[in-house]
């Protein structure tokens, strides 16, 4: 488990959960394009594109739904 | 916790929850494009683009699902 | 609460809930583009665009999921 | 209630529920573009466009999630 | 019920459930474009288009969420 | 069951669950475009396209919601 990038969905706080959701969203890109070189080349393009930024925020929102449910919404 | 932008998903009212969902949607953009200068430059472009506005509303809707569940729908 | 545009997610009927979901979808646009003038200028464009209409219907569908859950599906 | 297009989310069968989800998806378009004349003009365009058809199927899928939950999945 | 294309959401296995989700996604297209002739003409176009394939996979994923919940995740 | 590509939604860890969600997302493409030759030809195109990568990550996120729920979030 020590080597896993996703050993658990539990986080201490909602903000940590949001950060985990961001990491999961990036891993979803990484499994499709494993080359860090290619991903780095693409970054300037989509980081300056409003549509891509909104789409990225949406993926984070979907992953955050999962993380929040896993943490019983940090109630 | 005092310094967290997301210390809790609890809000007093549905309207406060909607505002929190809006904030979360913007943070999803911010983590992908951390430069406030770049984000400010992009804003006029997408704020006048119906497709981008509808897409933004969708991200808020997804985040609101999470916030609403966390508040047991303010029942 | 009297001044809130979203004092509650409870509605008397499923149809009222669908109307509330529509209102929430429009508010999601409004918080991103607060100018009524600009929004009014954009309306003819997307109201005649099938893709934008389908996308709008999708945002309403997502918000309706939340409203329906809040009302225990009007069972 | 007799005049409501959505008096209930209950349906006798999953297929009836799918039909209701289709109706809800069309109503989501209708509230944004109330003119039947304009909607009829748009139809040939998107009905021959694969992307629009897939997007329409997605809205139905989202609405069907709601209808299915409301019917406890017809268990 | 014998004539229904969707008599139940219950399936024996997760794989059968995935196949049902695929069928539901195609029916979502069919109700919008009932002509088999038109749908057949469109197929070569989107089956060779990565964006359309990813979008199709997403609709299946959404329908599979419903089918999986209906089967209590085949636990 | 031995021959099924999806015999169960249960996985030992969240990371295994994420891998399963990735596999499900690819199967969603495969059922729409069964030819491995065509899929291989499309890969270089979308693997270098930021929008397609973000869209792929979204499909994985949706499938992961299902897998995570099936595993009770590995609590």
Touching pair F, A by Cβ (3+ pairs < 8 Å): yes
- The verdict on a CB contact (< 8 Å) between E53 and F32 is yes
The band of E31, judged by pLDDT with boundaries at 50, 70 and 90, is very high
Distance of CA D7 to the CA centre of its chain: 15
CA dihedral C46, B29, A51, C39 (to 10 degrees): 20
This prediction has a pTM of: 0.97
Which chain C residues contact residue D73 at CB under 8 A?
none
What confidence tens digit (pLDDT) does each residue in D11-31 have?
999 999 999 999 999 999 999
What's the pLDDT score for residue D1? 47
Q: Which residue of F has its CA nearest to E19?
A: F31
What's the pLDDT score for residue B49? 94
The band of B44, judged by pLDDT with boundaries at 50, 70 and 90, is confident
Rounded Cα distance between D20 and D24, Å, is 6
What's the pLDDT score for residue E67? 98
What's the pLDDT score for residue F24? 98
Q: What percent of chain E has pLDDT over 70?
A: 97
* Count of CA atoms in the C-beta half-sphere (13 A) of A39: 13
Which chain B residues contact residue C33 at CB under 8 A?
47-48, 53
Q: Which helix (H) or strand (E) holds F65?
A: helix F50-70
What's the pLDDT score for residue E1? 47
The band of A26, judged by pLDDT with boundaries at 50, 70 and 90, is very high
For the segment E6-31, the average pLDDT, to the nearest whole number, is: 98
Rounded Cα distance between A15 and A11, Å, is 9
Which chain E residues contact residue D13 at CB under 8 A?
1, 4, 6-7
Q: Is the pLDDT of residue B75 over 70?
A: yes
Which chain C residues contact residue D65 at CB under 8 A?
65
- Residue D75 Cα, gap to closest chain E Cα (Å): 7
Asked if residues A29 and A40 have their Cβ atoms less than 8 Å apart, the reply is: no
For the segment D34-42, the average pLDDT, to the nearest whole number, is: 95
What's the pLDDT score for residue D2? 56
Regions of chain F with pLDDT less than 70: 1-2
Closest Cβ–Cβ partner in F56, F74, F75 for A28: F56
Q: Is the pLDDT of residue E44 over 90?
A: no
Q: What's chain F's Rg over C-alpha atoms?
A: 14
Q: Which helix (H) or strand (E) holds C27?
A: helix C14-30
For the segment E27-33, the average pLDDT, to the nearest whole number, is: 96
Residue A54 or D3, more confident: A54
E22 touches chain D (CB under 8 A): no
The band of A45, judged by pLDDT with boundaries at 50, 70 and 90, is confident
Q: Is the ipTM of this complex over 0.90?
A: yes
The band of C44, judged by pLDDT with boundaries at 50, 70 and 90, is confident
Tell me which residue has tokens 């209409």.
Answer: C53
Residue B8 to residues A14, A19, B19, B66, Cα–Cα distance (Å)? 6, 14, 13, 12
What's the pLDDT score for residue E2? 57
What's the pLDDT score for residue F1? 47
Which chain C residues contact residue D17 at CB under 8 A?
none
Asked if residues D32 and C53 have their Cβ atoms less than 8 Å apart, the reply is: yes
What is the residue extent of each domain of chain D? 14-74
Q: Is the pLDDT of residue E73 over 80?
A: yes
Q: Is the pLDDT of residue B24 over 90?
A: yes
- The verdict on a CB contact (< 8 Å) between A47 and B24 is no
Tell me which residue has tokens 């409501």.
Answer: D4
F40 touches chain A (CB under 8 A): no
- Residue E4 Cα, gap to closest chain F Cα (Å): 23
- The verdict on a CB contact (< 8 Å) between D13 and E1 is yes
For the segment E8-30, the average pLDDT, to the nearest whole number, is: 98
Which chain C residues contact residue D6 at CB under 8 A?
13-15, 18
Touching pair C, F by Cβ (3+ pairs < 8 Å): no
Residue B42 to residues A74, C19, C52, E34, Cα–Cα distance (Å)? 34, 32, 21, 41
B6 touches chain A (CB under 8 A): yes
Rounded Cα distance between A47 and A43, Å, is 6
The band of C2, judged by pLDDT with boundaries at 50, 70 and 90, is low
For the segment A60-70, the average pLDDT, to the nearest whole number, is: 98
């Amino acid at each position: 488990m020590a080597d896993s990038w996703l050993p658990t969905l539990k986080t201490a706080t909602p903000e940590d959960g949001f950060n985990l959701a961001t990491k999961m969203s990036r891993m979803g890109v990484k499994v499709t394009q494993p080359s860090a070189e290619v991903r780095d080349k693409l970054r300037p393009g989509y980081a300056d594109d409003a549509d891509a930024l909104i789409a990225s925020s949406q993926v984070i929102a979907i992953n955050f739904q999962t993380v929040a449910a896993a943490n019983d919404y940090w109630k």
